[in-house]
Structure 1
Amino acid sequence: METPYPGLEFGPAELAAVMRGIYDELIEFATTPAFQSMYFELMSLPTKDRFAFVLDVVLSPEERRRRGVEPPDGILIQTSAFGDRRPTLFVIKKFLPQRYHTAWENLNITFDNHYDDKSVSRDPGMAWRPPLPVALQGAVMSGGVDLDSLPNDIGVGSALFELPEIRSVEP
């Protein structure tokens, strides 16, 4: 019997097995022909047009259904942003059973716009900034502006960000 984490009823092997099963579900969904077709359609678009496709197609249950993309129960498709300013388009996500939330809450596969990995700072001061609000991130990507060019103080929770003023960003 494995030794549980201190204060928890499960250990690393049990948690890893549950996580592996969820990743297998996410991978199975992401590798279906319908999902792959939608993804390749998205990535065939110019970089600036991809966020609009995510909003109009990837996040639209009707458009996904029309394309035969039906996530299994428990798998969510959402927009997302990270403090390191990777140009994230969307994620597929699934929550772990409640029993494991004290250690880990959810797993996801992130789909980014193409970028040079060296362009994403690994410096802790840059990588752990508040993420940009998704609408702002999308507007900036659609405008062809480098996400890292935005000041650090306009992340989530900042009083500087107000959605009605953000419509598009000129390069």
Structure 2
Amino acid sequence: MPPHSDLVQESRLETSYSLNSTRHIFYERGTSGRDRRVRLKERWKRQKRLGQGAYGTVWLEKCDRPARPNGPTVRAVKEIPFDSTTADDIDYHLELEAVMKFSQQRYLPSFVQSFGWFDTPEAIFITMEYVPNGDLQKYLANPIPEDEAKVIACQLAEGLRHMHRNGFTHRDLKPG
């Protein structure tokens, strides 16, 4: 994998693992300018599988030891294995670059926010905000009013416009 951009590298989470949990370490400033950085630890436990796609699995995780007062307590984690059957189809560097780029403040209305990423020798894990109502395909299982369909179509078009203007394409977009 080629070297990561600054944006991607700065989004990497310092991580350690135990049998059934993932721990992240964060550093924050102390309360005054003279204080040293404070080391904070969070522990996340996998709860259930949210979905499975061609390139990986998305898991729901819960933080049972939050370290940051305003940090998330649940998250979705996309696991993309370094699998020989998909490795030729995935540019992991480009995937991380796109996720981290569109997690910036100016794109938040159009994209799910990422909280960072980490990896193991077996896979890359991208942490994201959890959307409790599920994905669009699940939402579209029942008919929706035309006005609502127009709003959704406009939101999708806006997200794609942001991507295309920044030189990215979505390789797995599918109708609901």
- TM-score w.r.t. structure 1 length? 0.28
Please state which structure has a larger fraction of its residues in strand: 2
Bigger RCO (CA 8 Å, 6+ sep): 1
